[in-house]
Amino acid sequence: MDKTRVLNVSTIKPLAREAILEHVQGVSAIVTAEEHSRIGGLGSAVLEVLCRDRHAPVEMVAIRDSFGLSAADYTSLLNHFGLNAEAIEAAVKSLLS
């Protein structure tokens, strides 16, 4: 049995509905990660797909509702908004604990 699964969702429209439903079968947690707002982004779209079915708990790693900002480099922006590997790891551990 897989310990983890990753589904690369390259577009929200059209959304890969069947692939999402296939990938969440039998999992203990679902984490979406995106460089977009939590509002109206990938996480919201995935929850719309799952809303009619029982599913594992979901956590969205994304930009919280806030104004944008400038930074010296891309990595600084990702870290500022909590869009890094540590944030994804924390979300997974939180759901599985």
Is the per-residue pLDDT at 1 higher than 60?
A: no
Q: Does 28 reside within a domain?
A: yes
State how far the Cα of 69 lies from the Cα of 23, in Å rounded to an integer.
Answer: 35
Report how many domains make up the chain: 1
> Would 4 be classed as within a structural domain?
no
Which residue from 72, 9, 19 is spatially nearest to 41, judged by alpha carbons?
9
Note down the domain range covering 53. Answer: 17-96
Q: Give domain status of residue 2, yes or no.
A: no
* Residue 39 pLDDT: 93
Residue 30 to residue 95: CA distance in whole angstroms? 8
Residue 4 confidence (pLDDT): 79
Dig out the tokens for 49 from the structure.
Answer: 């797909």
Note whether residue 12 is domain-resident.
no
Tokens of 4: 């983890």
Q: CA–CA separation, 53 vs 55, rounded Å?
A: 6
**Tens of pLDDT, residues 44-92:** 999 999 999 899 999 999 999 888 888 899 999 999 999 999 999 999 9
pLDDT band at 2 (very low <50, low <70, confident <90, very high): low
* Residue 89 confidence (pLDDT): 94
Residues 6+ apart with CB under 8 A from 12: 41, 42, 45
Q: Is residue 77 part of a domain?
A: yes
Task: Give a yes or no: residue 53 inside a domain.
Answer: yes
